[in-house]
Amino acid sequence: MSTEASSIEEPTGNQHLDRLQSAKGFIFDMDGVLYRGKRALPGVEDLFNALTLREIPFLLATNNSMATPAAYVQRMASMGVTVEEADIQTSATATRDFLVDDEETPNDAVILTVGMPALGEQLSMGTSFRILGDNEPASDANVVVAGLDLTFTYDKMKRACEAIDHGARFIATNADDRLPTETGYQPGAGAVVAGIERATHVSPIVVGKPEPLMMIKGVERLGCGPGEAVMVGDRLDTDIAAAYRAGLMTALVLTGVATRGDLARAEVLPDYVFADLPALLQGIVGHG
């Protein structure tokens, strides 16, 4: 079923806009949904103004581990959207939560990170974890956490492999193969993780989407049931898959990685498809 005025489709044929309009919370991916690279996508400010006016809570959840929640608060403010750090969930904060709850990880674990500085900052925040220094032996690490690293080198990969060979657990913040930018795409964390995995023959535990952990924790923050929340994403293989596995409603926007043609090959179909954020907003508020 499709509605020409709003560019809305319902691929599964069993969902209706009234369910979307009665949602009690929204979780939004960021890259490719709210912005592309450093450029805000059309409709961001109007969308969040409408949700705030209706007192509908929302959470921003990203597989990106390169920036802290505080940095995302500033980034969204530059787009006219006011959020709190508690409204931001990154794959790094989700990895921290996983390690804190994990019985196999010591409370004072030493972590070797492969990623940008913000990764270690988020992993250690509010915990007793210690980030291994560059000059310390890799064999001292209990855990290796790999994310997107824009300065990834052969030496970094070698140190991660050495730590894993000495028994360190291998955790990936996410396995995204690529990220949307203003001019196309760039390699994602999955490209970094794949090199370490290939060299060690050890598969990592993946925390970020498409694993459901971020969605489960997100719904807890929203204070509603999984079936009452909507995940809005631009990727079928991560955003939509993670939300489906966690029991959320799903909405795909065609402003990032996925295209309309990808729906025919998708293992999991979204409940709704929108051309962009203005179309999504029209779907939420109704057609009048």
Q: What is the per-residue pLDDT across 175-210, written as a single tens digit (0 to 9) for each?
A: 888 876 778 888 999 999 999 999 999 999 999 999
Last residue within a domain, chosen from 178, 206, 234: 206
What is the average pLDDT across 35-46?
Answer: 90
Last residue within a domain, chosen from 206, 231, 261: 206
Confidence label for 107 from pLDDT (cuts 50, 70 and 90): very high
- Same domain membership, residue 172 and residue 103: yes
- Same domain membership, residue 174 and residue 227: no
- Same domain membership, residue 200 and residue 122: yes
pLDDT in tens, 155-175: 999 999 999 999 999 999 998
Confidence label for 287 from pLDDT (cuts 50, 70 and 90): low
Enumerate residues 6+ apart whose C-beta is below 8 A from 215. 27, 61, 209, 226, 231, 242, 243, 245, 246, 248
Check whether 37 has a pLDDT greater than 70.
yes
- Same domain membership, residue 104 and residue 130: yes
- What pLDDT sits at residue 247? 97
Check whether 244 has a pLDDT greater than 50.
yes
- Same domain membership, residue 177 and residue 147: yes
Overall domain count for the chain: 2
On whether the pTM is more than 0.75, the answer is yes
- What pLDDT sits at residue 178? 83
Last residue within a domain, chosen from 206, 234, 263: 206
CATH number at residue 164: 3.40.50.1000
Check whether 76 has a pLDDT greater than 60.
yes
69 preceded by a cis bond (ω within 30 of 0): no
| 72 found inside a domain | no
- Same domain membership, residue 190 and residue 114: yes
Block residue for tokens 């079936």: 227
Name the helix (H) or strand (E) containing 9: strand 8-9
- What pLDDT sits at residue 264? 93
- Same domain membership, residue 250 and residue 147: no
Provide the domain limits for residue 240.
Answer: 2-63+210-285
Percent of the chain with pLDDT over 70: 94
Measured between alpha carbons, how far is 6 from 1 in angstroms, rounded to an integer? 12
Please provide the average confidence, as pLDDT, over all residues in the chain.
Answer: 91
Check whether 1 has a pLDDT greater than 80.
no
| 131 found inside a domain | yes
